[in-house]
Amino acid sequence: MTDELSQISATARGAARSQDWAQVDACAREILRRDNTSAEGYFLTGLVLKASRKPAMAAQSFEQALVLDADRYDAAVELANQYSIARRNGDTAALLAKYEEALGNSPMYLDLAGTVYVDIGLPERAWPLYKKATELQPGVDLFQANLAACGVYLGKVEEAKEIYQALLQRFPGHRRNHYELSRLEKAKDSTHIEQMKQILRGSDSPPDENVFIYYAIGKELEDLGQWQESFEFYQKAGDAVVSVADYDVATDVQLMDTIMGVCSADWLADAADACSADDSAKTPIFIVGLPRTGTTLTERIVSSHSQVESIGETLFLQMVLRRESAVHSVENMNPAIVEAVARKDMGIIAKGYLDAVSYRLGEKPMFIDKLPFNFLFLGFIAKAYPRARIIHLGRNPIDACFSMYKQVFTWAYKFSYSLEGLGRYYVAYDRMRNHWRKLLGDRMIEVEYESLVANQEAETRILLDKLGLEFEQACLDFDQNTAPSTTASSVQVREKVHTDSVNRWTRFSKQLQPLKEHLESAGIKVE
């Protein structure tokens, strides 16, 4: 690169640090005008397109940069990031693995590579990269927070706790870090609660900016048995989310109604599009149900078996359904997608899913995909994968609802932030569960959370038998399983089975009475 081009590049890098993307774009264009084979020009163009949220075009630019200069590890990590956004996870993993050793002196790209590894479900690969980034540049809070979050996924709770405490000493008002710290252990006194309340008293931030700290305070108050005040903070958090969310639970109810109408007995029995999923040597086990009903516990028990591995929670099934429907929509799933994909060849669905998850699969013959949300798609699973096992978790309805109410979730569970939304959604979900029960019969293995924690060995033996697996002691000792967990239960899965969460809702019976009445009026029994 000539001195003039180097100067233009330096100007662009400075502009990128200040997020002046117009200047970066101008510099990139000038570099490519002078030298249309400049890897730097294409790399800078990729950064501009990334900032503009045009992942496909950004990927093309980073790909061209690598064609012109295969040693550009920065372009490789940026490209991996764009691949992960497109859910090309296999390509992402391969690209990161190829360039990992070249990242040794770049804290920024070590951190980004770690974040991409976490995004594709490989936090164990992210940990050493995050560690190296913090060693090279120890004063960066973002790097420290990413290392702590990854530590939680890997069961390194004490290390994570120390990091969050250090971060909060430097920036006491960081709401998210207070929340993450609150999750790591049961509160023993009100010290941390008072620190968080002081932050609220000294701030005029709107409620939606305090959501994480509301949840943290609510959780620790519950730890201390201060039920009334705990609920008040959970309610503040939920109300704050609802106030800024563009959401109507009727949309989700309509989707469930459409799915039940489309996935009928006649549709399932139609073998015209017989698939080839059984040609695969791998047998998927789908663990589904509402969140907070024991799906993670069940995953840890079953994945502790020598014949089973887990790929965690993936969105690949939904991704393939969306793609093969050929319906273009900004929604993740809607009735039009369901109706269109139901007419497609289920063999294509099966192959597309297995291709997508292949980068995660080892030598074991069975693997678990544990996305609770997949309870919506049991009809498609049953038709596409004749040998697949389906485990559906159930839990006392009001315990399940309340456990969701006090948890921060992603886009998939917007219904959980209000008791009214929870009530309406649960009634529709219960109707759908009954639909799958009638449609799938014994193919759907039902596990009740309360029975599992009360009679772990007996229920585990029954479950393994239904899965066609021999009993193994490791399944009872699942708390010794060192595999990562990136779920909301990532801390609890390191504990032995207990019944502390059974009938926990009764401590909040007054506050939850309207929800209880709504469920009972729909014929749903609440113990």
Kindly report the length of the chain: 527
Which residues pair with residue 288 across a beta bridge?
392
- pTM for the predicted model, two decimal places: 0.91
> Nearest Cα to 52, choosing from 82, 72, 94?
82
Other residues' Cβ atoms within 10 Å of the Cβ of residue 315 = 16
Dist CA 310 CA 299 (whole Å): 7
Which residues pair with residue 448 across a beta bridge?
394
pLDDT of residue 411: 57
Dist CA 46 CA 37 (whole Å): 15
pLDDT of residue 480: 86
Other residues' Cβ atoms within 10 Å of the Cβ of residue 225 = 8
pLDDT of residue 276: 47
Dist CA 401 CA 150 (whole Å): 28
Query: Helix or strand or coil: residue 369?
Result: strand
Query: Helix or strand or coil: residue 285?
Result: strand
The answer to whether 387 and 277 are in contact (CB under 8 A) is yes
pLDDT of residue 104: 86
CB under 8 Å to 135, separation ≥6 — which residues?
A: none
Dist CA 459 CA 332 (whole Å): 35
pLDDT tens, position by position, for the chain (527 residues)?
Answer: 688 889 999 999 999 999 999 999 999 999 999 999 999 999 999 999 999 999 999 999 999 999 999 999 999 999 999 999 999 999 999 999 999 999 988 999 999 999 999 999 999 999 999 999 999 999 899 999 999 999 999 999 999 999 999 999 999 999 999 999 999 999 999 999 999 999 999 999 999 999 999 999 999 999 999 999 999 999 999 999 999 988 999 999 999 999 999 999 999 998 654 454 555 678 999 999 999 999 999 999 999 999 999 999 999 999 999 999 999 998 889 999 999 999 999 999 999 999 999 999 999 999 999 999 999 999 999 999 999 999 999 999 999 999 999 998 765 689 999 999 999 999 999 999 999 999 999 999 999 999 999 999 999 999 999 999 999 999 999 888 877 776 666 676 667 788 888 899 999 999 999 999 999 999 998 87
Phi, psi for 33 (deg, rounded to 5) = -65, -40
Query: For the chain, what percentages of helix, strand and coil (3-state, to nearest 5) are there?
Result: 65, 5, 30
